Structure 1
Amino acid sequence: MAGPFLRRLGAWVGGFDAGLANRRLRGFRPARAHVNALLAAAGPDMNARARYLVRNNGYAQGALDSWAANTVGTGVKPSSLIAAPARKAALQRLWQDWTDEADAEGVTDFYGLQRRIAREFFLTGECFVRLRARRPGDGLTVPLQLQCLPSEMLPIGRTEVLGGGRAIRQGIEFDAVGRRVAYHFHRRHPGDPTEPGLAGETVRVPAEDVLHIVDPVESGQLRGVSRFAPAIVKLFLLDQYDDAELDRKKVAAMYAMFITSNDPDAAPLEGELGDQVAPGQIVRLDPGEDMKVADPADSGATYEPFQYRTLLQVSAALGIPYAHLSQDMVKANYSNARTALMEFRRRVEAFQHSVLVYQLCRPVWARFTDLAVLTGAVGLPGYERRRRDYLACEWLPPKWQWVDPLKDIRAEIEEIGAGLKSRSQAIGERGYDAEEVDRQIAADRKREGRLGLDFRRSAQGPSAPATQDGARADEEDDEDDDGRAADRDAGRRAEP
C-alpha cells in the first residue's frame, strides 16, 4: 500500500521529471529486469544482428576494424621486469618463439589472437579463451596453446541448480560462495552444421583453464553486451534508407515517356508497361490515357545532412570517431581531429589496461612462465619462492601515431628535460622496451665508431637556457662539432 501512495505523493509534489508519468513520458516504461534477464531474452538475437551488420554493412565493418586496429594493432607486448639481464633476455626470447605456436588452430600468432579477441569483444561484448595444455611430445616451445571460443559456444540459456549450493547460471558454474568453478561449453558451434556430430553436447571445463574476456556494465552482470547494441537499429534502418535512395536515383536517371494511340489495334512498341522501365523507353498505352513523363520525387538537399547526423549518432553509440566510422575526412580539420583522437585513445587505453591486459595478457604470461619453468625450457632459480618477482611484467601497447609529429615530439622532449617524465616512460608509451632500445643505441654507436661514422646531430636540449647567451653557446657547440667532423673527414681523406 505504501508504494502507490508514495508514487501519488511524488506526482503531486513534483521532484524529478524523469520519474513522473506525465504526458511526455507516459509511454516511456522501460523494463525493470536485471541485465542478466535482459541478456537471456535478447542476447542471442542481438549478437546475430551485430554479426549480420558487420558482414553486410560497410559502416559496421569499418567500426569493427577501427576498434581492433587501435586497441591491438600489431600486438600488446610484454617487457619482463626481471632484474637479471641474462634471465630476462632468455625469458623474452622463449616468449617470442612461443607466440608463433600459441594459436590452437594454427592460423595466427598470439598477437593475432589478441586482435581476434578484440573483434569478438566488440561484436558480442565477450570472448572466451581456453588454456590448453599440450604433451611434451608435441614439440612446442612451451606445452601451451590458446583456443578462442565465441560467445555462442557458452549456452546463455543453461541455468540449473546442481545441489550442495552449486548452480549453473547462463552456462557458468558457481560454487556455494559464488566463485566461478567451471564453464559448460558446447562441443561444437550451435550454428555450424558443417561439423558432423556432437550437436547439443556440452563439456565442462574448469574455470582455471578459461579466460572470460568481458567488461560488465552493471554490477552482477554475467555475460557481455555487444558494443553494437545501441547502434543496431539505426545502422539497419539507415542501410534500408540508403538502398531506397539508390533505387530512386536509378529510376530518376531513366527518361521514360508514355504515348496514347487512337488505334486500339496498333501494335505496341518494344517494351510493355509492366516491364522494367529502361532509359529512353517508349510505351504505347490504351486510348483515353494521357502522355506522362516519369518524374520521381527528389530528396533534394536533405539526403547528406540526414546521413551525416545519423552517422554521428551511430558514431557516438559505438564510441568510434566519425571520421574512422565513415572515412569522411571532408569535415575534419587539425583541431577537431586531434580532440576526437584524444578522447578515443583514452577509451582504448582504458580497455587495454582493465580488460585486455588484466584478463588476457597477465594470466597467459603467468601460465606460460609456470610451464616454461616446470618443463625446464628456462631456468629461474628459486621460482616457487620468488614467483611474484619473476612474473612482474609491463605490457606495452603499440605506439600511437603522431597527429603533428614535430610539435608532439618537441613537447615530449621538454617534458623529459623538465623531469615530468622519464625516457623509459616515453619509450614505453611508444610500445618499446627502454633497456632494449638503449642496447640497440649502444650497439649502433659502437658500430658507427668502428666504421668511422657519426649520424648524430647536435641540437638544443630541452633544459638549455632560452637566452641569447645560451643560443650563442649552442651555435659555438655546433661550430665545434662541425670542426671536429671536418677534421675527421680530412684525416680519412689523408689515409692511404
Structure 2
Amino acid sequence: MNWRQRLGAFIGGFDAGQHHRRLRGFRATRAHVNALIAGSGPDITARARWLVRNNGYAVNAVESWAANTVGDGIKPISKIGDVARKEEVQRLWLAWTDEADAEGLTDFYGLQRRAAREVFMAGEVFFRIRTRRAGDGLTVPLQLQMLPAEMLPLEQAGTAANGNVIRQGIEFDRIGRRVAYHFFRRHPGDSTDPGLAGEVVRVPASEVIHVIDPVEGGQLRGVSKLAPAIVKLFLLDQYDDAELDRKKVAAMYAMFVTSPAPENPLAPAEDEDAPAGVEISPGQIVRLDPGEDVTVGQPADSGATYEPFQYRTLLQISAALGIPYPYLANDMVKGNFSNSRLALIEFRRRVSAWQHSVMVWQLCRPV
C-alpha cells in the first residue's frame, strides 16, 4: 500500500476506493480493455458461440435481439424530388438488395439480421465490399461479403512495410486512422476449407465495414454481449442437467423388495439366469416369499426453492444481456400488463439507440 492509499484509508472518502477487510479480495485489473480482449477474447467468443449452439436461453436471447433491432430490415427512404429519377433509384436499390450477399444466401436486409446476431455473439462483424465486373450479370456491380470476427487475427501486431503500426489485425497510419485490415484468407477453425492455414491478406480500410459496439474509449475489437452472462448460463445449464438426471434415475426405481438375510451371504444365487428385478404390469398381483416386503420408490421432489432460484438466476442473466425476462425465457406467466409494458419501453429505447449508433451509422449509411 503506497502513501496515497494509506492517506485515503486514514481520511476516509469513497468506500469503493478503500482497501479494508470487506474489499480485500476485490482485485480489479488496471489493464486496458484492448489488453483484456487480446488475452481472453478468443475464449469468450468460442464460449458464446457454444452457448448459442447448445443453450436454449442463449439462442433465444440472440434471436430476440436480432428480431427487435433489425426485424425484416432497416430500410432507407429516398428524398429525391424528381419523381422519375426517384423511381429509377428505387428500382436499382430493390434490385441490388436482392443481389447484395456475395454468398447468395439472403438479401441486404438478411445481412443486417446476420450482422446483429454476430455482434451479439462475437461483439463485432466485418463486411468486405466486393466490386464486381460488368460481365458478372449484376444490376449493380457491388456485393458484400460477411467475415466473422475470427477472420481478423487478434494476435496480428507489429509494423507494416510502409511503417504503419498494426494492432490486433488493424493497420493505423501515423495519426491513428485505420488504413487497412489484415484478414486470414480462410477461417482458422474451418478444417473443411483447404488451403494454406494462417495466410493473411491486406485489405484497404476503404473496402471494409467494421460493425462494433465499443464499451470503452480506445477499444479496437469487440466483446460478446453474452460475456457478463456466460458463467451463469453455463452453470445454470449444468444445474438443470444434474437435476433432470437425478429425477430420471430416481424415477427408474419403481419398488424395492426386502428379503431376510440368507444363512450364507456369500453363496451364489440358485438361478444365475434369473432376471435381476421383478417386472410389473398394471393390476398385477405379486406373491411374495415368507419374510419379503415391498417398498414403493418415492423420488425426492425438486423442492420449493427450485423455481424461485431459477427465476432469480434468469433475472440476473436477463439484466446482463439487456434482454427482458419474458423475451429471454419465453415466460409470460409472471408478467402483468404494467411491468411488461415498462420492460418493453426500456428495451425499445436501448434498441433504438443501438440501431442509430451501430447498425445505421456503421453499416447502412456506408452502403
TM-score by structure 2 length?
0.91
Residue aligning to 2:258: 259
In structure 2, what is the equivalent of residue 334 of structure 1? 337
Deviation for aligned residue 1:256: 3.9
Displacement after TM superposition at 1:350 (Å)? 0.7
Provide the residue aligned with 1:325 in structure 2.
328
Of Structure 1 and Structure 2, the greater helix share is in 1
- The answer as to 2:364 corresponding to 1:347 is no
Q: Determine the C-alpha separation between the residues in 2 that align with 1:7 and 1:172.
A: 38
What is the aligned residue count? 349
The reply on whether 1:312 has 2:305 as its aligned counterpart is no
Contact 2:184/2:200 (<8 A) preserved: yes
State the distance in 1 between where 2:234 and 2:143 align.
Answer: 38
Q: CA deviation at 1:271?
A: 2.6
> How many angstroms does 1:266 deviate by?
3.1
Listed as ranges, the gaps of 5+ residues in structure 2 are: 282-292
CA deviations 1:271-318 (Å, max 9, x no partner) are 38xxxx9999xxxxxxxxx99876654431011001100000000000
Select 1:356's aligned residue among 354, 359, 362: 359
- Per the TM alignment, residue 163 of structure 1 is displaced from its structure 2 partner at its CA by 6.1
Deviation at 1:270, TM superposition (A): 1.9
Mapped partners of 2:276, 2:184: distance in 1? 57
Specify the SS of the correspondent of 2:312. Answer: helix
Aligned partner letter, 1:325: L
- Counterpart of 2:332, as a letter, is M
Residue of structure 2 aligned with 1:4, choices 2, 8, 12:
2
Quick check: 1:118 aligned with 2:116?
yes
Q: Which amino acid aligns with 2:107?
A: D
Query: In the superposition, relative to structure 1, how do residues 109 and 279 fare at CA in structure 2: closer, same or farther (>3 Å)?
Result: farther
CA distance in 2 between counterparts of 1:22 and 1:91 reads: 67
Amino acid at match of 1:242: D
Deviation at 1:265, TM superposition (A): 3.6
Structure 2 matches for 1:25-424, cutoff 5 A? 25-162=23-160, 165-254=163-252, 255-257=254-256, 259-260=258-259, 261-263=261-263, 264-267=267-270, 270-271=275-276, 297-364=300-367
Q: Is the 8 A contact 1:253 1:279 kept in 2?
A: no
- Say whether the 8 Å CA contact 1:130–1:148 is kept in structure 2: yes
Residues 251 and 299 in structure 2, CA contact (< 8 A), matched pair in contact too: no
Rounded to whole Å, the distance in 2 between the matches of 1:279 and 1:174 is: 76
8 Å contact from structure 1 (residues 212, 359) kept in 2 = yes
Partner SS for 1:212: strand
Does the 8 A contact of 1:69 with 1:115 survive in 2?
A: yes
Query: Structure 1 pair 307/163, CA: closer, same or farther in 2 (3 Å)?
Result: same
Deviation at 1:184, TM superposition (A): 0.3
Residues 316/270 of structure 1: CA separation in 2 closer, same or farther (3 Å cut): same
SS of the aligned residue for 2:77 comes to strand
Map 1:455-494 to 2 at 5 A: none
How much does 1:235 deviate? Answer: 0.2
In structure 2, what residue type is equivalent to 1:131? Answer: I
CA distance in 1, matches of 2:299, 2:251: 9
Residue 397 (structure 1) aligns with:
none
Who wins on radius of gyration, i.e. which is larger? 1
Whole-angstrom CA distance in 2 between matches of 1:293 and 1:203: 69
CA distance in 1, matches of 2:360, 2:47: 29
The amino acid across from 2:353 in the alignment is A
> Is the contact between residue 103 and residue 113 of structure 1 (CA under 8 Å) also seen in structure 2?
yes
Q: Which runs of 5+ in 1 are unaligned?
A: 281-289, 365-496
In 1: Cα distance, 2:188 partner to 2:172 partner: 24
1:7 to partner: Cα distance: 0.6
Any idea what SS the aligned residue of 2:305 has? helix
Letter in 2 for 1:305: P
- Whether the 8 Å contact between 1:101 and 1:140 is mirrored in structure 2 is yes
Q: List 4+ stretches of structure 1 deviating above 6 A.
A: 277-280, 290-293
